[in-house]
């Protein structure tokens, strides 16, 4: 098994990210090496548990630890107060102690929810991320953002709670549906669009290999993405500055997801894909970015089978005014002003405060026309 090991170097809370095929089978050894208590509480969802829970449990038990699990319904609706309450109840019923470990086995939904539950039970239990979607392997499992969704918006209630280990098994992606792979690919491309134009070009040139999960390209894409994310998180753990760059495309994406009702009609990665294309289009229109950048981004997304415009998504049934209202409630918004991550070119993203609402409105009005 060839694996790569990266470090997220946070004082007092540093941890490893292990990436490679077969990492799950070795999870017990990695978890035992953390030298916590004897009990592990695994949180997963039905889809993931069917394929990967027995192997993880066996690996943990063969390392001399005991493993209990809670298997939740799949989907964004699981990131709710109701499910959080049930999960916290199960952890308390299991008498988890502070020295025990929670393991999140799944995509970003399970990682965000289990990380949050671990952060609040007994004022904080350590947890391990075992991400099983491409999106979670390159983004959500690293950096310690945990949250649930509330009627007022997505991810609005949560904690920064860093995992103590991330185990990303590329072989676990073999069971991931192609649409979910494409959604994760959008997040990989996003890293290049933010700060590394050669990486964006490389990702675009190797889209087929990455999406077909064959060869070393997938591992390279994950490792490079995690390395970039680790450096950003080390520099700005709590998003006081440059971490906000990781939200390229997200102001638009969150509004799209809100209008789609978090229903699976539009996946998070799909919304991010369209959001990135719109962020480049807005940057061009504001004269910040050379002409042709947005069409390049759109062509890369389309070549990977991703939506590149709102018109590529199912009907959202919304208006530009409604979308702008949602954007004003974005976590980045400050004093009611619209804040976007924009770009001076591919690989040159920056945070733009107080973006002209009229320019955004015109862009959205055109984008929403069918």
The footprint of ligand GLY on residues 246-275 (CB under 6 A) is 246-247
Measured CA distances, 204 to 29, 300, 304, 356 (Å) = 36, 6, 8, 31
Q: Please list, in sequence order, all residues whose beta carbon lies within 8 angstroms of the beta carbon of residue 220, skipping any fewer than 6 positions away.
A: none
**Binding to ligand NAD by residue 276, rule CB under 6 A?**
no
Q: What is the rounded CA–CA span in Å between residue 186 and residue 307? A: 10
Stretch 130-159: interaction string toward ligand NAD, x if CB under 6 A: --xx-xx--xx--x-x---------x----
Residue with Cβ nearer ligand GLY (145 or 220):
145
Give min distance, CB of 305 to ligand NAD, in A. 16
Give which of 355, 361, 251, 249 is closest to 294, Cα–Cα: 249
Question: Annotated active-site positions, please?
Answer: 123, 145, 187, 229, 239, 243, 247, 250, 254, 268
With CB under 5 to 8 Å by kind, the binding choice for 243 among ligand NAD, ligand GLY, none is ligand GLY
Residue with Cβ nearer ligand GLY (90 or 224):
224
**Binding to ligand NAD by residue 74, rule CB under 6 A?**
yes
Piece of 241-249, 305-313, 320-328, 357-365 that binds ligand GLY (CB under 6 A): 241-249
Give which of 288, 266, 307, 263 is closest to 345, Cα–Cα: 288
Binding ligand GLY by CB under 6 A: which of 28, 143, 163, 184? 143
Measured CA distances, 346 to 112, 244, 289, 349 (Å) = 30, 17, 8, 8
Give min distance, CB of 346 to ligand NAD, in A. 21
Piece of 39-47, 243-251, 345-353, 359-367 that binds ligand GLY (CB under 6 A): 243-251
Q: What is the rounded CA–CA span in Å between residue 334 and residue 240? A: 13
Q: Please list, in sequence order, all residues whose beta carbon lies within 8 angstroms of the beta carbon of residue 338, skipping any fewer than 6 positions away.
A: 251, 324, 327, 328, 354, 355, 357, 360
Give min distance, CB of 137 to ligand GLY, in A. 13
Binding ligand GLY by CB under 6 A: which of 30, 76, 100, 139? 139
Q: What is the rounded CA–CA span in Å between residue 247 and residue 330? A: 11
Asked if 347 contacts 193 with a C-beta cutoff of 8 angstroms, the reply is yes
Binding ligand GLY by CB under 6 A: which of 154, 190, 243, 268? 243
Q: In sequence order, what are the beta bridge partners of 126?
A: 101
**Binding to ligand NAD by residue 27, rule CB under 6 A?**
no
Give min distance, CB of 108 to ligand NAD, in A. 2
**Binding to ligand NAD by residue 283, rule CB under 6 A?**
no
**Binding to ligand NAD by residue 57, rule CB under 6 A?**
no
Give min distance, CB of 354 to ligand NAD, in A. 25
Binding ligand NAD by CB under 6 A: which of 20, 108, 119, 275? 108
Q: What is the rounded CA–CA span in Å between residue 10 and residue 158? A: 20
Give min distance, CB of 64 to ligand NAD, in A. 27
With CB under 5 to 8 Å by kind, the binding choice for 172 among ligand NAD, ligand GLY, none is ligand NAD
Contacts with ligand NAD by CB under 6 A lie at: 45, 47-48, 51, 74-76, 79, 106-110, 112, 132-133, 135-136, 139-140, 143, 145, 155, 172-173, 175-176, 180, 183, 268-269
Q: Which residues here bind ligand GLY, judged by CB under 6 A? A: 139, 143, 145, 243, 246-247
């Amino acid at each position: 098994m060839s694996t790569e090991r990266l470090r997220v170097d946070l004082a007092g809370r540093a941890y490893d990210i292990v990436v490679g095929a077969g990492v799950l089978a070795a999870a017990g050894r990695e978890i035992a090496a953390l030298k916590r208590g004897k009990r592990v509480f695994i949180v997963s969802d039905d889809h993931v548990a069917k394929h990967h829970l027995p192997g993880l449990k066996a690996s943990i038990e063969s390392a001399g630890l005991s493993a209990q699990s809670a298997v939740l319904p799949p989907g964004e609706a699981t990131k709710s107060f109701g499910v959080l309450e049930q999960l916290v109840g199960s952890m308390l019923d299991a008498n988890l102690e502070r020295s025990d470990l929670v393991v999140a086995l799944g995509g970003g939904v399970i990682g965000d929810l289990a990380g949050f539950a671990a952060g609040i039970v007994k004022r904080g239990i350590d947890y391990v991320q075992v991400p099983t979607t491409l999106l979670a392997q390159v983004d959500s499992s690293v950096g310690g953002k945990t949250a649930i969704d509330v009627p007022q918006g997505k991810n609005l209630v949560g904690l920064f709670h860093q995992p103590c280990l991330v185990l990303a098994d590329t072989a676990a992606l073999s069971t991931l549906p192609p649409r979910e792979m494409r959604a994760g690919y959008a997040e990989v491309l996003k890293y290049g669009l933010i700060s590394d134009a050669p990486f964006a070009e490389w990702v675009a040139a190797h889209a087929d290999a990455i999406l077909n999960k064959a060869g070393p390209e997938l591992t390279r894409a994950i490792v490079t993405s995690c390395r970039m994310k680790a450096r950003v998180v080390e520099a700005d753990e709590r998003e006081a500055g440059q971490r906000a760059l990781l939200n390229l495309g997200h102001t638009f994406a969150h509004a799209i997801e809100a209008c789609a009702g978090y229903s699976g009609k539009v996946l998070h990665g799909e919304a991010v894909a369209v959001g990135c294309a719109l962020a480049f289009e807005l940057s061009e229109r504001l004269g910040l970015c050379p002409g042709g950048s947005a069409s390049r981004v759109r062509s890369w997304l389309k070549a990977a089978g991703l939506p590149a415009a709102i018109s590529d998504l199912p009907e959202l049934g919304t208006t530009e005014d409604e979308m702008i209202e949602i954007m004003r409630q974005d976590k980045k918004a400050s004093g009611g002003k619209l804040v976007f991550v924009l770009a001076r070119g591919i690989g040159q993203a920056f945070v733009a405060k107080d973006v002209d609402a009229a320019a955004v409105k015109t862009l959205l009005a055109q984008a929403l026309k069918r």
